[in-house]
Amino acid sequence: SEEELVSALADLKRKSPDAMFRSALRKLPEHRTATELEMIYDEILHINALKELSNEIKKQLTKVIQFEFHQQVGTTLFHQGDEGRSWYVILSGVVDVLIHGKGVVCSLHEGDDFGNLAIVNDAPRAATIVTAQPNCQFLRVEKFDFVKILNEVEAKTDRLKEHGKDVLILEKNSLKSRSGSMADTLTPSNYKYSIARGTVDKILEHILRYIQPWVLTGMEDSMEDFIITYKLFTDSKHLCEYLLKQYRAGDSLKKGVVYFVVRWSHIHTYIFHEDPDIQSFLKVDTNFIKHISENPMVAVSGKPGLLNRRSSNNGTSGASQVVLTVGTSVQRYPMSKQNGAEPIHDSDKVLLKIYDWNNTYTTVKLPISATVSFQIIAAACEKLSNSPSDFKLVELHENHDTNEIPKRQTSVATAVSLNSRLYLTTTGDHPYLVNKQSASKTIEASHMETVSSLEIAYHLCKHNWNLMNNIHILEFLFKTCGGHKFKWTTSNLNVMARRFNQLAYWPPTEICLCANINKRVQLLRKFIKWDTYLKMYHDMFGFMAVMIGIGNQAVSRLHDTWDKLPSKYRKMVQGFEGILDPSRNHRNYRLFVASTESTRIPYFPLIMKDLTFMQEGNDTFKDDLVNFEKMVITLLDINVTTSVDNLLETTKTAGTTKKYAITCPVITNQVVLNEMSNTVEPKRT
């Protein structure tokens, strides 16, 4: 029947990412296509067991790594004392590690590896490995292949030494031919050097020496990677001193230094213009300033996949102030007539509404970069004629949970949760906050059923893209590495995170506010159709948020509503749930995105997870050298390439729909949502 066909197709779609991956791994190395090698590389890039391997070794592994499957429990992969011939990584399942005379000493799970010591040290197996669960899946690398790769990579590695120590390590990488394939042998015409590790000065000297100003080359990529990530391993002062030294040394690197500074200003935008060390550097040598001014301030597009490469006039100092209000509902941001939400800069002013335990409040107007201890509490206490040393700033959430905001926290206005309030309290007042009224306001059911699904999905996508475009690429690094280590805030990234929560609470809020079951079914259908269009627009950020909202327990328990939903929509949800599935490090989502031509708006929570994995799982320094490969891998996770075109004709309801898509008031108290859900549809007896 048609229904069975739809069900079968949905099931195949859920299983297809795994099937594609296994199919590629089962092929002989010479039969794997470039697309399949890229898919395998994307998969192993996020495997914890392989994190210490260099990028080049991982790329070579994609050609030889194999898939192994064992259906039965108790299958022995190898015995203690056997010759070490393979290295294994667990994709799924559990294995037991047994040692003679001791029995099972431990168990290994998904993401763990075993067998590597035996093949590296050429030693016999130290333990017996037995499957402890059915249907275990593994990645396997043969000893011969792994040793060959290590030798080949070392042969393609050039080391620059000073005083007997490595100061710069370069790797030769094959260039793609016009057909898209990699060269089999390395000749001067078909390879390029990539920076693996080095001292800060030697990496920078190599970039300056081989950069070709205004020509997009591989070295342009390395320069941009350095400019974006340098704050992780050095500071602006050292960088400026070295650049000035090289500029004054002679003509050989002078053009490269000037171009580097021009690109630096383009990429860092307002952060460049507001950095005091950079401004001091620019004032030291008038000839240097003259040399820069004679070069065209051309907006080079740079490497695709990097967020917010804005022209220098977007986001520089002197922009109009943005006044934000932290109140009892979603924070409101001024809308630009041209682009939607305005970007937030550190110098922008924020109007903070701060309550005391009597529920009276005072307002303070401070820069968005104001810290809790030195500015926010001090300003509030000055108005209230209190001593700042006796108070702390506490956030009261809609569900009555409280948390003290760290005293060194900045961007408080954008960091607080939806529907929360800020309280100025003493230690003695803190327990009383749990009895305060939550910050939510009464929300009435909307008239969503009258809104075009395609139109509202378009405006959702458009607004999400505007918010994303406001994020400076450095905000990702600041957020991942700890904002307190840097002078700059992550306000725009905070806004994007709060937008995700807003969209995730939208479906349960609207559906649980509706008492009529037929209208609830219609609303549920509407949200599913929105998600279909968001997926069509490649807005994975909005798609995943709305899908999480549809799966909220307050919605999923509405059995009568789901029973009345047409089977076509239930199957669509099942298909979407496959993409949402977080198992195997969100493999289904990753493979789905890899199969699409472009992703306008990525799933930001996963980007932050990957960046954290890269930051914490890889050393910034190796043998006292900057691990530059880590910087390159980190930036690969920030991949946004296209904008949202005007794909929808203007309609009479466009203004109302756009406002509705941006504001969408929500209830964030899960307890309240569950109660509302039980009210509209009591538990079945």
HSE-CB at 274 with a 13 A cutoff on CA atoms is: 17
As a 3-state breakdown, the chain gives helix, strand, coil percent values, each rounded to 5, of 50, 15, 35
Number of domains in the chain: 4
- Domain at 580, CATH number: 1.10.840.10
Question: Does residue 617 form part of some domain?
Answer: no
Hey, which bits of 65-127 come out as E strands? 66-70, 76-78, 86-92, 95-99, 103-108, 113-114
Question: Does residue 613 form part of some domain?
Answer: no
Query: How is residue 625 annotated by DSSP?
Result: E
Report the length, in residues, of the chain. 685
Segments forming the whole domain that contains residue 538: 453-602+641-680
pLDDT at 307: 33
Q: CA geometry: angle at 231 spanning 227 and 234, to 5°?
A: 105
pLDDT at 432: 52
Least confident of 268-282, 494-508, 517-531, 539-553: 268-282
- Domain at 285, CATH number: 1.20.870.10
pLDDT at 181: 45
Least confident of 70-79, 498-507, 654-663: 654-663
Are both 271 and 252 inside the same structural domain?
yes
Mind listing the pLDDT tens digit for each residue in 606-641?
A: 989 888 888 887 889 988 999 998 888 777 666 544
Q: Which two tokens stand for residue 33?
A: 């296509």
pLDDT at 47: 84
Are both 461 and 508 inside the same structural domain?
yes
Q: Which two tokens stand for residue 280?
A: 């001091």
Distance between CA atoms of residues 420 and 220, nearest Å: 45
Distance between CA atoms of residues 69 and 407, nearest Å: 52
Of the chain, the percentage scoring pLDDT greater than 70 comes to: 80
Distance between CA atoms of residues 668 and 558, nearest Å: 19
Question: Does residue 442 form part of some domain?
Answer: no
SS3 369: coil
SS3 letters for 556-591?
Answer: HCCHHHHHHCCHHHHHHHHHHHHHHCCHHHHHHHHH
Mind listing the pLDDT tens digit for each residue in 425-434?
A: 886 655 455 4
Q: Region 9-27: what's the mean pLDDT?
A: 70
Mind listing the pLDDT tens digit for each residue in 362-414?
A: 899 999 989 887 799 999 888 877 777 778 899 988 888 888 898 888 889 89
Are both 476 and 370 inside the same structural domain?
no
pLDDT at 9: 54
Are both 593 and 474 inside the same structural domain?
yes
Query: How is residue 596 annotated by DSSP?
Result: S
pLDDT for 237 beyond 90: yes
Are both 211 and 262 inside the same structural domain?
yes
Q: Residues with Cβ < 8 Å from 266, sequence gap 6 or more?
A: 297, 299, 300, 309, 310, 311, 312
Are both 476 and 519 inside the same structural domain?
yes
Question: Does residue 327 form part of some domain?
Answer: yes
pLDDT for 182 beyond 50: no
Are both 164 and 277 inside the same structural domain?
yes
* 621 within 8 A of 627, measured Cβ to Cβ: yes
Question: Does residue 635 form part of some domain?
Answer: no
Least confident of 171-175, 258-262, 399-403: 171-175
Nearest of 120, 16, 186, 182 to residue 594 by alpha carbon: 16
Are both 548 and 467 inside the same structural domain?
yes
Question: Does residue 625 form part of some domain?
Answer: no
Are both 207 and 128 inside the same structural domain?
no
HSE-CB at 430 with a 13 A cutoff on CA atoms is: 14
DSSP string, 248-295: HH-STTHHHHHHHHHHHHHHHTHHHHH-HHHHHHHHH-HHHHHHHHTS
* 464 within 8 A of 601, measured Cβ to Cβ: yes
Are both 266 and 345 inside the same structural domain?
no
Which residues, in sequence order, are bridge partners of residue 645?
none
Question: Does residue 6 form part of some domain?
Answer: no
- Domain at 28, CATH number: 2.60.120.10
Are both 33 and 131 inside the same structural domain?
yes
Which residues, in sequence order, are bridge partners of residue 139?
67, 89
Are both 410 and 551 inside the same structural domain?
no
